[in-house]
Structures are given as structure tokens and as C-alpha cells.
Structure 1
């Protein structure tokens, strides 16, 4: 017992450990893997399991439209279209090019008996996928399902005309008319039903379903002759069909053609010797025939004669005649062949054989015998008959797409009857089928030489020219026809179509004036021609004539007031004319009527955007903002609306209001250059350099260009408020061996209104080390005015004991800056006071400053002049400079110690320098100066300065 309990405990522990491991090491689910698994389960028919997996995938990735599309498909497969359709509408609103979603939406609407919605969805799909064959066939099925047979027939004919050699389209065409024929028959409309089935037989003569249906309609209307012709035609392609033979027997029995019926029955017995029904009919049919004829049928009498005298010509002719009278042409042909066995060249029998072969549509054989008789007799009537049968034979080959044989037959017809209109017309048709347009046109023109002004030939010529794309020439021919038949609506329509096509080609060739003329001629005949109006609207809009385009749009809308495309075009033209309120009203109405059609919403938002831009350009930011807000209400993630809204707030100097829209843009488009850059700019304008630097860093990561890296560095430097500097001055002379070297250390701190700095300078002299302390201040009073102040004190060795400076700077219009200030210097018991005036000017990257000093020392007045120029590079980070001076100024650091002795001397100075900044943090510079001093009338001395700078922000 104890052992058993121990086993239970051990088993429980194993289970706990296994469960814990499963929980600890359970992998996070991959939505793509879930989608793939759900797809496989869908194909396997395991819809419930597939639904659970795709729901989990959607939970993990709710914005993935592929997952949502599969979910909608599963809902459809589970017969839940009312749940699938709203989901599909959302999918198509987000992605209007989701082809699968359109198919599922069409199927959902069909399943819910919302046929009009199904038509809308298939039209919307074809707008985005106009050449999709599967969608085109789908539309045909949707129209059939909606019982819109008129539209379906027109669309089927359009597809057939566009894709005559496409077997799939042909099959859809046939299936459509089979369905239509059945629907018309069910609705009690036999005429339309028969017309539909005959369309099928035109495309596929051997179609059993259509043939049976047409035959049934004939029988229902008791049109037995037509029914018999249809059965015989079907038997020509299916001679062994038991069903067709029995149907033929039934018709012959119903019309009391017992001899024919007995012959047909014998055929059935030969082909189906074991058929009990046929065996049973044999006696009953003979009894019925015997009762009907009562032994007075001449046919039977002549047959009895032939049984006794097989070569009796008179009896044979009577039997042939009676057989023909009963419509049994195949049987008559048999009797004629029986006679020709003994009289092979009998012209009467040969002529009768020609007739019978023609009756059973064996035109090639009939034409051959007719040609033989013509050559034997040289009779003009047989020549005409030969031409007639050769034409029929050629048409037969043409129907079988045996164009070479057809061409030979038509040429033979012309050789038998030169100038035969049918032969000429058929020859043209054959050339057209062979796509030999030039030969077809040449044949028509030859025919017109024989039959000038022939209406049919002129129509054919116009048709060939149209098919060859020579619409202007075709239109000239059609005008000729219309002049003779001014009231002919068909010619008017044809002329309009040709002029439309010519106008379209001229538009494509950008020959707008000629295109406009063609289209206006169409409107002169048909003022409400929608195609011409549409083309003229497009042409005038493209040619920059919106007023004229608007007139045509209004003209079109008078006849077609609810046409969506016309309304949309009118709105576009109104937008071009800057009549935004009218354009928006039209587009808003369309959007409300068709809420799931994306292009109307897009057009409405584009008009709102254009209207907003118009207000922005006319300095009406509040009105512009109202328009942008309307756009964002419809499309919260519209990038342009967000950007323009932010710009409008910035234009109002309200960056705090702009920033939320910029942030919305970044959330919607995390890598957008425009929004990241705009955020950095706004934060920079707010002087929030830390946040601006972070935004610029994100911008650099999204678009790592040199400009973005420099901008990020610049903003990072703006957040630095301290700077360390080192300066080194080396002065040498040509008149002694002394050197004047000064090393200076600086600390500078940047404040909101400017900066202040403290410096300590060191200079070694024979008499000791000079130490100088300096305090410097830059202070901004306003955006255009600032002050500069300096106070210096030293131990008197190598530096003046006291130096003070103050200047006030102001920026004037046109890039000028003025300065007025004062300088004080005390050195070697000498006091010096100076007034300073300067003017500076910036021209693009060039800057120049001219400064004048008026110096007063011990009652004497001196002047000094200084010209400093700089050329900035790399967005004004770096520059080269040039300095020219006359006299010694109290700001000259290298000669301040000797200022009392030099102030009155004639001194000329020339120098140049270069300063470069690395990443807006580290600055290095070097300046060189040559100073020439006149110490007597004939004696000069020179001084050479080198000044090095190193600055680092932190």
C-alpha cells in the first residue's frame, strides 16, 4: 500500500514538472505561422479550427488585411455572409486593390440576395482591375443572377467582340445565353428564349443543350418543318444519335410522312438492332401508315414499280419528286444516286443531285457538280448557279475557319460570274478574317468601280477603314452614305462612332485642335452623345480650358443628371477653377450616397485640401485650418493634412499647437522625413534643444545624410552651455631677438541672453611672468541689439595694468550692423581713451567690417582703421578671413604692452586666417599677421604674429 502511494506521488510530481516546463518554455505565437496553418485547415475543410487560428492571428496583428480577408472567406464558407460583408467593406476601404476581397464581397452580396450591391462591387473591382478576365466573367454571372438580361447580353457581346479567340470567354458567352434562354423559357417568353439559344448555336453549332431547347420550342409551337430542319442539321454532325433519330421519327409520324418515317425507323434498326422500342415501333408504324394511306399512296405504288423495273426512269423521277415533296432530302439523294449508278452523266439527275446536296447543306459537293454541268453545257444559268453554290461553299469553309479553301471558292465564284456581288462581298469578308486589310480594301474599291454608290459596298469600305484605324477616311465614306440617306439612324450612329475614334486617336497624338473639331461634329449630330461629351471634357481640361470643360460637363449632366463619373469630373473642373465650395458639395453628396467607394472620399478630401491651400496662400490661416480639420475627420492619418495643419499653426507663430499634429504624423509614419524634420525645427524654435536634438537624431537614423547628421550635431551643440578655450599668440620681430608669447585659458558659459567668459593669460618676460585676468560679456537686449563688455587686470608685466571696453551693436535693414563704443587702457602710467565706430555688412556668405578708432592719449588725438573680411563656408561653420589695418588699435592684443609707444607711429598691418568647426563642438583656428611700423623717416621695423585657437563646447 505504501509503495502504491509513493508511485502516485511520483506521478503527480512528474505531471507538475511537465506542465511547468510547458508553461515556462512555451514559445510566443507567430501570427504568420497561424495564418499559414489556418489557410491549410481551410483547404482541408476544417473551418472551425481555421477560424480559431485566424482569430488569434488577427488579435496579434489587427491591421493585417490578409488575415482579415481569410476570416471573411471562412465566414462565407460557414454560410455567414451577413457577418462577412461588413468586414470586407472595411478591408476594401483600407485597401481598395484587394482582389480576393472583391470576390468575397460579390459572393456575400449574392448570398444575401443583394444583387444590386453585387453589381456595384464587381464594377468597383473592374475599375481597379479593368483587364481581369475572371472578374469580367464574374460580372456576367452577377448580371445573370440579378436577372438584368439586357445589360448582361450587351456585356456578353462586348466581351465576345473584345476576345473573339479566347476559349474561356467564349465558354462564358455560351453559358450566359444558355442560362438566359432557360430563364426566358421559364418566364413564358419563347421568342426571346429561342433567340438566346440561337446565339449559342451561332457560337457552337454542335451544342446539344441549345439544339434540344430550340427543337423543343419549335415543337411546342407546332412548327414541324422548322423542327425537322433543326433535327436534320443536328444529325449532320451527330449521325448516330439515337435521341435525334427517334425525335426525327416522331416528327415524321406526327406529320404523316410515313414513308420517311419508315426509312428513318430502318436506319435506327440498322444502327441499334437490339433496341426493343424500335422493334416494337416497326409493326405499329406500318399499321398506322397503312391506315392513313389506305393503299392509295402514289409513292408506294411507284416503289412497287421500281421493285419490278429498277431502271424505270419515269417511276424513279416520280419517287424522287414525292420524296422531295415530303422533305426527305437524304432519301431523295439516295434515289438519285441509285439512278446515277446506271446513268452517271444524266444532266437531269445531276441537276437534281445539286438541288438535294444544297438542301442538306453539302455546298462543296453541290458546287463541284454544278461546275461540272457548266463546263459540260456552257449554259449561263449553270454558271450563275455555280457562282451561287461556290459562294455558299466558301461561306461554309469560312464558318469552319478554313480560310484558304474559302478564298479559293470565292475566286471560283468570280471566275464563273465576274462581278458577282455576293462573291465580291464574301471575298472581302474572307480577307478580313485573314486580317489582310489592304486586300479587302482593294477588293471593295474594285467592286465599287463596277457598282458605284452601292450602299452595301460603301458600308463595307467604311467598316474596313474603321477596323484598320483609319477613322477619318471611314467617316468620309459614311458621310457619303448619310448624304444619300439623311434620315438613316444607323449611319448617323456609325459616323459618330468613327468621329469619336478619330478624335480619341488625335487626342492621344496631342493634336487637340483637330480632335476638338471631330468631337464637336459628333455633338452637332448627336448633342447628347455621352462619349463625345466625356472626351471634350477631358480634352478641354487637359488643354487648360476649364471654363469650356465645365460647359460640356453641364451639357452632359442635363441629359444624364445622376451620372457619377460626370459629377466627379465636374467637381474636378470646379476645383481647377478654384470654386471649391461647389466642388466639395458635389463630392460630399457622392460620398454620402456611396460611402464605400473610396475615390469619392479621396476626391472630397483633395478638394478640401486645395481649398485649405487657397486660404493659406491668401493669408487666412484660420480658414485653412478649418478645411484641414475636415480632412482629418475623414482621414485621421492623412500625411499632407497633418503636415499642412502643422505649417498653418507655425505660420500663426503657435508652435505648441503645431506640435500635436506633427506628433500624430510621426506616430502614423514613424520614418517620415518631413515630420521628423518638422518636429526638430519646431523644438529648435522653442529653444528646447534637448528634445530637438533627439528628434534630429531620429531623423538622421531614418535618413542618414550629411545634412541630417550636421543638423543633429548642431542641435546637440545648442544644448551645450559651457566652453573651454585655449589661445596661443607668438610674436617675433626683425629688429631684435625677443619673442612675445602669450598663452590664454578661457571658460565661457552661455546663457539665454548671451554669454559670459573668464580668461587667464600668461606671458613670459625677462623681468618675470605676466599674468592677466579678463572678464567678458555678450548680452542680447533684443533680437537686433546687443552689448559687448570687457574688463582686464594684470600685474603689469607683459600686459597693460587695466583695460576696459564696451560696445553697443544694432542690426539695421538690408543686412547692415552698426557699432558704437569706448575703450580704456592704462599701461606704464599712461592712460588712453578711445572711441569706436564700425559698420558691417553681410552679402550671402561674405562679411565685411570697417572699424575706426579715435584715440586720446596725454592730450593728443590719434586714429586707427581696421578692415576685416570673412568668407564663410560649410553653412557658416568655417571661414577664411583677411585683415588690413592702419595704425595701432586698443583691441590689438599683440601690441597692447607697447601701445603708449606705438599709438602715434605709422603702422600698417595685413593678415589672414582660417577657422574650422568640427560637429559644432570643436573649433580650431590659425591667424597670421604682418605688421610694418615706421619709427623714423627712413627706418621701419616688422613684427610677425601667429595666433592659434582651440575651443571645445561641453
Structure 2
């Protein structure tokens, strides 16, 4: 019974642990996958991060942080509809999840859905009233929708609420700059000036607002206002060259030549070597003289040309006046009028080319330059042609008309194949078109002329990297880094190449090749944080914890106290089973950053691993100490509670185990695992009534066959009484008589065993036999118990006296040894027997060999029994096979004939089956065939049928 009880206890404990593991496994796995997805996101491995995130959500569909990460990943990969799906799900579950609003607003802004973005901003502000971040977001959205007046009102509200906030102040300035530009585009100079004035009220020296205000004034012809603004700026920056020149230009436009000459004199005084000022000294005076002499020479010359269309002097004057005023359209009209009369006039064509260039019509100007160059090829015209074609290409490039830009640069290169500017810009054009092959071809063409040009080599290296030719790119980068060791830009480029190549090898799971790349990074830049980080990860992933620890320590040498590297070092130490060292690091991080959950989680994980390691090494006290540290930080940690309960049960500290069980049920009141632990602990404590109540709660929670079976087992342990009925039928082939015995038994279970009383009845022709019997099983210790029995009868059928005693000792490997004796008195015959037996289980089998040495009337006999049982149904039921040699003093069916059987050669074979129902009712059926040799050639047979019924109550 002791062996059976221990086996059942072990099975139930294993089931409970497995059940609890299943409950927590999904969550643990989901969090692990989430952490991996976060790391992959940091490394820009978005596809892998998405895959890990989906796996995490399969294990824990309500994992809200994982849903938000997936929304972010889909936004980063421009899968905006999928991103919307997840951030909407997050906001549906938690309308106060701040980051979800940021992602929602950004997705809608990116896709141009400004009204939806505004809705999310309003929703965020309803949950976070007065949030300056979301208020700034809304102001930006209003600006994008050109809701200028609403934006103005909102900007003033925001500024009045947070007047000292620098970010709010910048948002306020940016809004009014945008507002001013918007009104400028609409031609509303008055509103534009009001917007810029609002900026200057907050930031009087804002250069953008000042410049824009001045531009508005000039464009609207409000020269006096423009002049006032320039004078105000000069008061802050006396003698500024650009401001003096601008003031001079405004005075010219106002025809205030007297003031203009004074301003020019000031410029010449401050900048005596300025060539432009010297040129203006003559032209300004001529302009002033002409203005004051004729009042309006432009009109006079126009009158001359109207009367004499071929007058070249008048034409040249009109073209000059128009150019001076910046009226390029008028100048072009006069030039075209002249070309009608003289279409091949080189001077007019050159003037037209100048006008077109001044008016930024570079393509048309380049066409004229090409015509003039074809007529009169010379170096000056070729240079002009190349300059105009290059300018035209730049203009097309700015407008993203890449084909036209490329055509212009190619035209420039036809005239000057080695022009570095045109070559460089043509390469840039192809790069903008993602035509890396064509770009590389142009760069190679440029390198043919300029083989040592570092800029071209760097650009070629970058292009090779983008086309996947990392080794070639790195070779060029190494060459440049060697040539210019002090150039940080080149070293950074080489480092980026190694890092990119290493990441690509990592994606392809070529970890050894990836390591080589990151080691080359560290050769160039030993303190490169990314390379050190990758090396720690790779060495850990490839099962090289010593190397991973080396790189973690190296990283911490450059970045002492870096949280990420400290956490990585702790992880590596855990891989090396150095859990105490890992816990020291994670504990320090938790103390330094008490509000960062991941450090607390890492510390708890380190303690849990240390505790389980101590358990594996049979150090329960140390393990319990670690689990107590976990519970001090996280009292709800179910695994720490369960492990602690297991340890305390193993140490037979059942009251402490129950305290932890109560703590677990406090946080998880309907948890099957903790309820089962409570039942098991109470069972170990021998408090079967309380254990049965706990098991009943488990059945109510999860009514499974296993749980019902365990409840029945515990319930049976509370029953102290048992009633038994037994019937033995013996028949013989040598006699018509039958030998039947009926037995009634009462048994009482106590703490250390049980005692029983039997009444046996057997009827005979000679009379009725009655026998009273008392027996006891008594447990001395876990490995030692005794059996005793005494019986007395009226001698009609049964022996008058029977007595038995055995002591049983269990040794290692469950070997049980019995030593005992038997006494039997029948009529005038008495026998005393010694008993020795050895029993051992073998899996589901149990084997017992028992031997008797019998002394009767100064004669000695022996008898042997070999019993084999095959247990089923958790060792409650069994099939039995018994083989015997000789007549045992324990064989009741033959004791009536015991003197007559002494010395006879007897063989017996018996089979039986016992079935236990709900640990209360036991049924048994046994049959035995006994063969006795009575003479050299004579045998007689006996057949026994034995029935058994026991019921606990």
C-alpha cells in the first residue's frame, strides 16, 4: 500500500505540473516571440519581425503590445491597410494607448488621408486633454489641409496654453510661416504680411519671416515698406553687405537716385575693393542722369522705334532698359522684333540667349548657344553651351523630369566629354531613376578622365553596394580609406558596407560569413556599437557563449553602463548557466531603472533560471531562496509559487507549502494547478479530509476522469472502516465431500496501519466449524512494518490454534524482505514454521518468492510459493499467477488435512484477478489447482475457487 500511494502521488503531481505548464506556456512563448520581433525591428529585418509577430498572436491573440508592434511594422513596410487593422484593434481594446494614436495619425498623414488623421488627433485629445504633443499634431494636420483660419485660431490657443514650451513655440512659428506662404501663393499680400508679423512677434530675428516679409513687399510694389524693413535690419547689423546691396536695389526701383548714390558711397567706404560696387558707380550715375535728363527715356526710344523699326540704337537702348528693370519678357519681345528684320544677327541672338538665361529658360538659351557654336565654333561659345546645357539639366532634375535632364547632360558631354560637372550630374540623374547600371557606366567614363577622384570612387562604391556587389564596393572603400585615413566620411562608408554585407549574410543564415564582415568593421572601428552588438548576437546564436561574453565585455569597455550590452551579457551568462552572475547584472539594471519593466522581467528570469538550476543539482534551500526573491518582486509569479510548493513538499514542510498554495489561489482563485497542489500537500500531510475537499473543487472546475479518480482516492483515505465477505470452495477428485469456508470480516484503518476481526464458518457432517481470527498490520517507519495474526476455533473443522508474525523491511531498489514464523495446532499435532520471502517490482509486474521451513513431530519439511502480479489501472487492479511446491501453513484450504499432507509431493498453480472500484469496493476471483502425489504412481487433485468482496465505509 505504501508503494501504491507513493506512485499515485507522483503521477498526480506530474499531471498538475504539466497542466500548469500548459497554462503558462502560451504566454511565455508569445512574450519570447515578441521580444525577438522587437530585436528584428531594431535591425530593420521587418519581414522576419512580421513573421515572429504573427506567431506570437497565434499563441496569444489578445497580446495588445504585439498588435501595436505589428501595426508599426506594416507602416514601416508601407502596408498601410494592414497597419490600420491592427492599430484600430489596439484602440478598440485600450482607447488610452498613447502610441497607437501616433501610429494611426502618421499612417493617415503618409497616405494623404488628412480628415482621418484629424479625427484620430481629436480622439487622442479627448483621451489626453490638453496634450501638447497631440495639439501640435492637430495643428500640423490643419496646415496640410490649408485650413488656415482654423489653424490660426488653434495656434493661438496652443501658444497661450504653453507659452514657455520651446516645441510649442517652434510649431507656432512653423504654422505662421506656412500660412504666410499659402497667402503669398494666393496673391494676398496683406494676409501674408500678417502671418509673417505673427512670427516676428515671437521671434523678432527670424530670418525666414524677415525674408518672406521683404519679398511680399517687393512683389506687391510696396517699396517703402521693403525699405523700412531693410533699414530695421541694418540697425541690428550695421554695414552688412547683403543688406546695403538690397537697400541700393530698392532705392533704384524707387528712382530715389540721390539716396541710392549715398548708399553706394557707404558700400564703397566699407568695401573699397568690391568690383560690383565699382561697376555700379558708373552705371548708377548714368541711369540717374538719363532718368532726370529725359524723364522717361524708355518711352522716347519706344517712340523712335515705332517710327523707324530698323533703328538699331533705339532697339539696343530699349533692350538695355528692359534688362536693367528685370523686364525680361519685354526685352525678349524687343529682341524678337529686331530678329524679324535681321534673323541671322549674331549680336541679337547672343542678347536673346542672355535674356533667356536671365529668365531661367536654360533649355531655350542652350538651343541658341548650340546654333551660335555651330556657326562660329570657339572655346568661349563651347564653354557657354556646356554651362547652359548643364543649367538646363539641373532645372529638369529639380522638376524630376529625369529623361530631359539626362538628354541635356548628354548634350553638354558631346561638346565637352570630360566635363566633370556634367558627368557627375548625369550619374546623379540615373541614380534618381534607380538605373544603377547606367549610372555606373557614366561613373566609369568619368573615372577614365579623373581616375583618382575620391568623390567619384565613393559614389561608385555606393552604387556597387546597392546592386549587391559588396566585395567590389568594399575593395574601393578600403582603397579610399587607406589613401585618406583621416577622412571620417570614407571610414564611415567602409564601415557601413561591412555592416550591410554582414546583415545580408545574417538574413541568408550564413553566420560565419557575417562574423567575418563584422570583425572587419571592428578592425576599422573597434568601438562600433552595431558590430559589437551583432557579434554578441551571432556568437550566442551559434552556440559560442565564451566568444559572445568576450564581445559583450569588449563593448562594455567602450560603453560602460550601456543597458543593452549589460542585458546581453546577462543573457550570455545565462546560456553558460552562470545564473548568479546574470542575476547580479539584471538586478543592478532593475535598481538603476526601477520603472523599466524589461529589466525587472530579465532579473526575475535570471532568478528563476538560477532556482531551477539549483533544483536540478539537488540544492533545494538555494533554489527556494531564489524563488522567494522572485516572489518579493512579483508575488503573482505562478511558476515561482509552484516550484516553491514542490520544494517544500519534498522537504515535508507542508504548512509552508500550504501558505504558498494559499498565495497562489489568492491571485488565481480558479486555477486547477494550485488547487491540485493544495490537495497533494494536504494528502502528504495526511489530512485526507481537507485534501478531498480541495480535490472536489478541482473536479468542479475541470470534471475530467483523472480529477474524479484522484478525488475518489482521497475520499477513500478518509474512510476508516471496511466490511469484507469471503467464500472459499474446495472440491476433490478423490472424495465427494466439499470443503467450503465463508468469512465475515471487519477492518479498522488507523494512522499506522490497520487491525481486523474475522469469523470463519465451515459446515461438515461431523459438525460446524467456527473460527475467530484477529490480525494487525503495523507501520514502524517508512521502510519497516509488521504483520501479526492469532486465531482460535472449536476444532470441528479448523485448527484449534493458529498464529503468525512477520516483519517486512524495504531496501534500495524497492526490494522487500520478510522474516517471520507460523504456529499451527490441530488435534495432537503442532507445527512451527519459519518464513522468508523476497519481493520486488519490475515496472507493472511484482514478484514474490516465499519459502517455509516446517517442523512437525520432529520432522522438517519445506514449502515454496512464487507469486507474480501484473498491475493495471494505476496499480489498483491486478492479474495474479501463483505457483507452489509443498503445503504452506498459510494455505487455509488444506490445513484441515495438514497432518495427512506432511511429506507429500504437492504442486499447485493458481490464477486470480482483483478489481477495485472507486477505491472503495474491491472484488476478487481466484482459482487454484493442487496436485498431490500419494504413492509412486498415485495422485489426487484438489480444486479451489475463492471469491472476495470488500467495501470501505
Task: Work out whether the TM-score is over 0.5.
Answer: yes
Residue in structure 2 matched with residue 100 of structure 1 by the alignment: 96
In structure 2, C-alpha distance between the alignment counterparts of 1:572 and 1:548, rounded to whole Å: 13
Residue in structure 1 matched with residue 887 of structure 2 by the alignment: 888
CA contact (8 A) 2:290 2:297 kept: no
Alignment of 1:879 onto 2:878 = yes
Residue in structure 1 matched with residue 504 of structure 2 by the alignment: 505
- State the secondary structure of the residue aligned to 2:805: strand
Measured after TM superposition, the shift of residue 685 of structure 1 is 1.3
Number of aligned residue pairs: give it. 756
Residues 489-548 of structure 1 show CA distances to partners (whole Å, capped at 9, x for unaligned) of: 110111112222223333444444433332233233333322233333333444455554
Residue in structure 2 matched with residue 916 of structure 1 by the alignment: 915
In structure 1, C-alpha distance between the alignment counterparts of 2:736 and 2:185, rounded to whole Å: 121
- State the secondary structure of the residue aligned to 2:490: helix
In structure 1, C-alpha distance between the alignment counterparts of 2:205 and 2:810, rounded to whole Å: 106
Q: Which of 305-314 and 748-757 deviates more?
A: 305-314
- State the secondary structure of the residue aligned to 2:888: coil
Residues 604-653 of structure 1 show CA distances to partners (whole Å, capped at 9, x for unaligned) of: 33344445556656665555544444433332222233334434444543
Measured after TM superposition, the shift of residue 885 of structure 1 is 0.9
CA contact (8 A) 1:228 1:251 kept: no
Distance 1:688 1:250, change over 3 A: same
- State the secondary structure of the residue aligned to 1:781: strand
> Alignment RMSD, CA only?
5.1
Residue in structure 2 matched with residue 729 of structure 1 by the alignment: 728
Q: Which of 246, 251, 256 is the matching residue for 2:221?
A: 246
Residue in structure 2 matched with residue 781 of structure 1 by the alignment: 780
Give unpaired runs (5+ residues) of structure 2.
1-62, 65-90, 103-119, 126-130, 138-143, 187-191, 228-245, 256-286
Distance 1:818 1:589, change over 3 A: closer
CA contact (8 A) 1:815 1:843 kept: no
Residue in structure 2 matched with residue 859 of structure 1 by the alignment: 858
CA contact (8 A) 2:925 2:947 kept: yes
In structure 1, C-alpha distance between the alignment counterparts of 2:327 and 2:787, rounded to whole Å: 126
Measured after TM superposition, the shift of residue 794 of structure 1 is 3.8
In structure 2, C-alpha distance between the alignment counterparts of 1:714 and 1:206, rounded to whole Å: 90
1:301-316, aligned counterparts within 5 Å?
302-316=301-315
Q: Which of 469-478 and 925-934 deviates more?
A: 469-478
In structure 1, C-alpha distance between the alignment counterparts of 2:704 and 2:383, rounded to whole Å: 88
In structure 2, C-alpha distance between the alignment counterparts of 1:775 and 1:688, rounded to whole Å: 28
- State the secondary structure of the residue aligned to 1:519: helix
1:111-510, aligned counterparts within 5 Å?
244-246=219-221, 255=248, 293-295=292-294, 302-325=301-324, 327-340=326-339, 348-367=347-366, 389=388, 391-403=390-402, 405-406=404-405, 421-422=420-421, 424-441=423-440, 443-445=442-444, 448=447, 451-468=450-467, 470-510=469-509
Distance 1:247 1:714, change over 3 A: farther
CA contact (8 A) 1:728 1:743 kept: yes
Residue in structure 1 matched with residue 687 of structure 2 by the alignment: 688
Distance 1:913 1:312, change over 3 A: farther
In structure 1, C-alpha distance between the alignment counterparts of 2:194 and 2:535, rounded to whole Å: 48
Residues 327-346 of structure 1 show CA distances to partners (whole Å, capped at 9, x for unaligned) of: 44444334334445555665
Residue in structure 2 matched with residue 944 of structure 1 by the alignment: 943
In structure 1, C-alpha distance between the alignment counterparts of 2:331 and 2:590, rounded to whole Å: 72
In structure 2, C-alpha distance between the alignment counterparts of 1:653 and 1:103, rounded to whole Å: 50
Measured after TM superposition, the shift of residue 598 of structure 1 is 1.6
Distance 1:200 1:610, change over 3 A: farther
Residue in structure 2 matched with residue 640 of structure 1 by the alignment: 639
Distance 1:379 1:789, change over 3 A: same
- State the secondary structure of the residue aligned to 2:853: strand
- State the secondary structure of the residue aligned to 1:100: coil
* Normalised TM-score (structure 2): 0.68
Q: Which of 656-665 and 245-254 deviates more?
A: 245-254
Residues 211-249 of structure 1 show CA distances to partners (whole Å, capped at 9, x for unaligned) of: 9979x99xx99999x979996xxxxxxxxx998443689
Residue in structure 2 matched with residue 656 of structure 1 by the alignment: 655
Measured after TM superposition, the shift of residue 801 of structure 1 is 3.8
In structure 1, C-alpha distance between the alignment counterparts of 2:793 and 2:576, rounded to whole Å: 76
Residue in structure 2 matched with residue 836 of structure 1 by the alignment: 835
In structure 2, C-alpha distance between the alignment counterparts of 1:292 and 1:249, rounded to whole Å: 20
Distance 1:320 1:924, change over 3 A: farther
Measured after TM superposition, the shift of residue 393 of structure 1 is 4.3
Residue in structure 2 matched with residue 850 of structure 1 by the alignment: 849
* Normalised TM-score (structure 1): 0.67
Give unpaired runs (5+ residues) of structure 1.
1-64, 67-94, 107-132, 139-143, 147-151, 153-166, 232-240, 263-287
Residues 592-611 of structure 1 show CA distances to partners (whole Å, capped at 9, x for unaligned) of: 44332222322333344445
Distance 1:849 1:591, change over 3 A: closer
Measured after TM superposition, the shift of residue 682 of structure 1 is 1.7
CA contact (8 A) 2:218 2:226 kept: no
Measured after TM superposition, the shift of residue 782 of structure 1 is 1.6
CA contact (8 A) 2:214 2:226 kept: no
In structure 1, C-alpha distance between the alignment counterparts of 2:429 and 2:704, rounded to whole Å: 67
CA contact (8 A) 2:217 2:226 kept: no
Residues 119-155 of structure 1 show CA distances to partners (whole Å, capped at 9, x for unaligned) of: xxxxxxxxxxxxxx999x99xxxxx989xxxxx9xxx
In structure 1, C-alpha distance between the alignment counterparts of 2:719 and 2:926, rounded to whole Å: 26
In structure 2, C-alpha distance between the alignment counterparts of 1:222 and 1:563, rounded to whole Å: 40
Measured after TM superposition, the shift of residue 482 of structure 1 is 2.0
In structure 2, C-alpha distance between the alignment counterparts of 1:312 and 1:888, rounded to whole Å: 157
In structure 2, C-alpha distance between the alignment counterparts of 1:740 and 1:839, rounded to whole Å: 31
CA contact (8 A) 1:475 1:495 kept: yes
In structure 2, C-alpha distance between the alignment counterparts of 1:520 and 1:652, rounded to whole Å: 52
Distance 1:737 1:221, change over 3 A: closer
In structure 2, C-alpha distance between the alignment counterparts of 1:221 and 1:289, rounded to whole Å: 35
In structure 2, C-alpha distance between the alignment counterparts of 1:943 and 1:485, rounded to whole Å: 111
CA contact (8 A) 1:211 1:230 kept: no
Measured after TM superposition, the shift of residue 666 of structure 1 is 1.8
In structure 2, C-alpha distance between the alignment counterparts of 1:134 and 1:584, rounded to whole Å: 43
Residues 169-192 of structure 1 show CA distances to partners (whole Å, capped at 9, x for unaligned) of: xx9xxx9xx99xx9xxx999xxx9
In structure 2, C-alpha distance between the alignment counterparts of 1:893 and 1:396, rounded to whole Å: 119
In structure 1, C-alpha distance between the alignment counterparts of 2:681 and 2:756, rounded to whole Å: 30
Q: Which of 923-932 and 833-842 deviates more?
A: 923-932
CA contact (8 A) 1:257 1:326 kept: no
Measured after TM superposition, the shift of residue 931 of structure 1 is 1.9
Q: Which of 393-402 and 678-687 deviates more?
A: 393-402
Measured after TM superposition, the shift of residue 687 of structure 1 is 0.8
Q: Which has the higher contact order (CA 8 A, sep 6+)?
A: 2
In structure 2, C-alpha distance between the alignment counterparts of 1:376 and 1:941, rounded to whole Å: 145
Residue in structure 2 matched with residue 594 of structure 1 by the alignment: 593
Measured after TM superposition, the shift of residue 692 of structure 1 is 1.9
In structure 1, C-alpha distance between the alignment counterparts of 2:562 and 2:878, rounded to whole Å: 67
In structure 1, C-alpha distance between the alignment counterparts of 2:206 and 2:937, rounded to whole Å: 144
In structure 2, C-alpha distance between the alignment counterparts of 1:542 and 1:798, rounded to whole Å: 82
In structure 2, C-alpha distance between the alignment counterparts of 1:825 and 1:223, rounded to whole Å: 123
Measured after TM superposition, the shift of residue 916 of structure 1 is 2.8
Measured after TM superposition, the shift of residue 765 of structure 1 is 4.2
Residue in structure 1 matched with residue 78 of structure 2 by the alignment: none
Residue in structure 1 matched with residue 36 of structure 2 by the alignment: none
In structure 1, C-alpha distance between the alignment counterparts of 2:396 and 2:608, rounded to whole Å: 64
Distance 1:752 1:257, change over 3 A: closer
CA contact (8 A) 1:642 1:665 kept: yes
